[in-house]
Amino acid sequence: MNLNTLRTVIGAAAELGLEQVLLNLAYKTAIKFGLYSWVRYGTSLPSHIHAIDPTDGNCPHDAITSLLAPSAKTKILDRADKICLGYYEQFGVAGFPINLSPPNNKTHWADLEKGPIRNSQDQDIKLVWEPARFGWGLQLAQAFTLTHNPVYANFFQHKLHEFSVENPAGYGENWQSAQECAIRVINILFASHLFGNFPTLEWYKALPVIIETHAVRISQTLEYARSQNNNHYLSESVALITCARALPAHPKAGNWHKTGWQGVHWCLRNQFENDGEYVQHSTNYHRLVLQLLLWLRMVDPNGFGDEDLTIIRSATQWYANMADPTTGLAPNLGANDGAYLFPLSCLPFEDHRPVVQASLRTFFGACIPAGDWDDLRFWMGDTNTAEYPVFVRSQRSSIADGAWRLSLRAITYRNRPSHADHLHCDVWAHGKPIALDAGTFSYNLPSPWQNALADTQAHNTVTVDGLSQMDRISKFLFTKWSASSADTNPDGSLTGTFHPTTKAKYTHHREISGSNGHFYVRDRVVSNSAGSPRRFRLHWLLSDLNWEWHIDSGITLTAQTGHTKYYVSIEPSTPIFQYRITKAGTNLDGSLYAESIDGWYSPTYLQKIPAISIAMEGIGTEYSFTTQFWAEHTQV
């Protein structure tokens, strides 16, 4: 290990904290020396240990059926019929086979964690894990609730048996991640709850073994999950509580329950910012966490303390502020791996209103106006028709005027960053994005697609000399966590400031202002190092609206959508500049080099659609850009 690498490791350890580093090191040491590899998961449970519904059987099937709209019922049955043909919705996209046969099901999960085998895997591991989460089982249970057709229950039983055969406990990729085990056992038990009347289920006798083996596997590496300090620890803790509630006569049930709640309390106190933002700094992971907490509220409602509920209330408010109430769309902040634990709503993956509504009603005592998005809360046990106060969105770090909303990303990290996105700006009009966050696309595909969209260059902000705002030392880990701040001025405008902690040495000021449908984003970047002039590059990623453009002293783009014509104008501080306009990795105009990752938007995992990437670059010791957004109503 050379001196620079050693410094990087020491710096990362200082930021992450000694406990996280030591727990992670203990796990990797155990893997290296085969301490997990000898563990076998054979079980011989006594006959008196049987499974019960972890939610005490309280599923208002009749009420759900009466509350669902006819269009929702049609969607549920159509979706379930496709599942019975062997196809499900993967990362929110329909038409993928339910493949429960992993490539290495004769290899112990701990051996799969070793470098040579792990690095030789030739496909994205999430393609193996996703069907084995059994989220599609919930959709079969929905159809069974509506029809009582045994076809849906029989198919679930068939696939559960297939999983057991193809994935012997402890062997293969589907036992490799304890979080995947947690999600799977929760979904199997949630689906069984929705099918109803546990002792009559065809798979009832198999449930005790399923529950025990999953709980044992989760317990093995729970400290490693804590070292990651993310949704893995929370999901695994919730799963242990679920297993304890479903198998109360098991001799370890008391320990699972206690350990699970210790983990949940720890996560609630250590994984949320003061404003409610979740530790992974991601809209989609925030949704995942709220789904876990909604399930836990169903399973063990008395386990929450007042402090827990205060934190969850804050997290609910943060999330509800992110989602547009008219479209359900939300900024694609941070990592988006396509996770949607409980795909019970008939609305698409990108519509956040189902979880917003369920969370607001359960934890906040408020709601958004009723609509098709209420279906998730029905399935999660809330069939209450009582009126709630309507939730009013706040304008924290954003400005809004009529149909427009501009938000500014500013944060001081207490936990590790997800994306290097300081002072990123989203621009929305009529509930849909004009300037957007690219998302994730993939963690594991060949270069350049290994979480490449997490870097500063992919965001709507300014880079200097091509450097990221933070140093990136692995696929998921940034070091030298920099900070940014945002203030609301008396006139309603926003002022943001970014100071890097890396060798970039510059200061970036961004001001967002506007009224009457005309908005300005003004950037001023100043070098803090003496010497040669530097390259200042402003980047915007625009939704693909068939833009046309004109180049003169700057760049002006126009796009006609229905009766609205949108305008984007970018003006540099000097008439000498370089630029590029890129779509789907292909340069359309300009002399700046385009990367293959430029001009793409990823709405969910492994999905990418064309977008328009604009980069403008100027040289100097300081530089300014002014970007304007506005629209006009036309008669076209």
Which residues neighbour 532 within 8 Å (Cβ) at sequence distance 6 or greater? none
Name the band, by pLDDT with cuts 50, 70 and 90, for residue 11: low
Question: How many CB atoms sit inside 10 A of residue 553's CB?
Answer: 10
Averaged pLDDT score across all residues of the chain: 93
399 with 405: CB under 8 angstroms?
yes
What number of H helices and E strands is found in the chain? 18, 22
3-state SS assignment for residue 572 = strand
Asked if residue 224 lies in contact with residue 202, where contact means CB atoms within 8 angstroms, the answer is no
Eight-class DSSP state of 250:
S
Q: What is the pLDDT of residues 490-502, one digit of tens each?
A: 999 999 999 888 8
The more confidently predicted of residues 594 and 115 is 594
Provide the pLDDT confidence category of residue 17 given band limits of 50, 70 and 90.
Answer: confident
Rounded average pLDDT over 179-185: 98
Instruction: Check residue 465 and give its pLDDT.
Output: 95
| pLDDT tens digits for range 103-117 | 999 999 999 998 655
The pLDDT value given to residue 414: 84
Q: What is the pLDDT of residues 449-490, one digit of tens each?
A: 999 999 999 999 999 999 999 998 888 888 889 999 999 999
Mean pLDDT of the 9-18 span: 67
Whole-angstrom distance, CA of residue 139 vs CA of residue 345: 9
pLDDT of residue 636: 59
Query: pLDDT-based confidence at 85, cuts 50/70/90?
Result: very high
DSSP letters for 212-226: HHHHHHHHHTHHHHH
Nearest by Cα to 370 from 391, 339, 349: 391
Q: Running DSSP on this structure, what letter comes out for residue 28?
A: H
Q: Are 523 and 462 spatial neighbours (Cβ–Cβ below 8 Å)?
A: yes
Q: 313 pLDDT exceeds 90?
A: yes
Q: Could you give the CA distance from residue 231 to residue 234 in angstroms, rounded to a whole number?
A: 5
pLDDT at 117: 55
Predicted confidence (pLDDT) at residue 73 exceeds the cutoff of 60:
yes
Q: How far is CA 311 from the centre of its chain?
A: 19
Model pLDDT, residue 3: 53
Backbone torsion region of residue 428, taken as left when φ is above 0, otherwise alpha when ψ lies between -120 and 50, otherwise beta: beta
CA 170 to chain centre: 27
How many Cβ atoms sit within 10 Å of the Cβ of residue 159?
22
Give me the percent of the chain exceeding a pLDDT of 90.
Answer: 83
360 confidence band (pLDDT: 50, 70, 90): very high
Proportion of the chain above pLDDT 70, given as a percent: 96
What are the helix (H) ranges across 17-149? 18-32, 61-67, 70-84, 109-112, 115-120, 125-129, 135-147
Instruction: Say yes or no to pLDDT of 602 above 80.
Output: yes
Contacts (Cβ under 8 Å, ≥6 apart) of 569: 554, 555, 556, 557, 627, 628
Residue 198 pLDDT > 80 = yes
Q: What is the structure's pLDDT at 225?
A: 94
Question: How many other CB atoms are found less than 10 A from the CB of residue 279?
Answer: 24
Tokens of 619: 């040289």
As a residue count, the chain comes to 636
Find the helix or strand (DSSP H, E) in which 295 lies: helix 283-299
Confidence category of residue 234, pLDDT binned at 50, 70, 90: very high
Backbone angles phi, psi at 296, to 5 degrees: -65, -35
Q: What is the CATH number of domain 398-633?
A: 2.70.98.70
Q: Where are the domains of the chain?
A: 1-35, 56-220, 398-633
CB-CB contact of 71 with 371 (8 Å): no
> Binning pLDDT at 50, 70 and 90, where does residue 9 land?
low
Question: Which 3 state secondary structure label does DSSP give 374?
Answer: helix
Chain segment 497-544, per-residue pLDDT in tens? 998 888 788 999 999 999 888 999 999 999 988 778 999 999 999 999
CB-based contacts of 143: which residues, under 8 Å, 6+ apart?
76, 77, 79, 80, 81, 149, 152
pLDDT value of position 63: 93
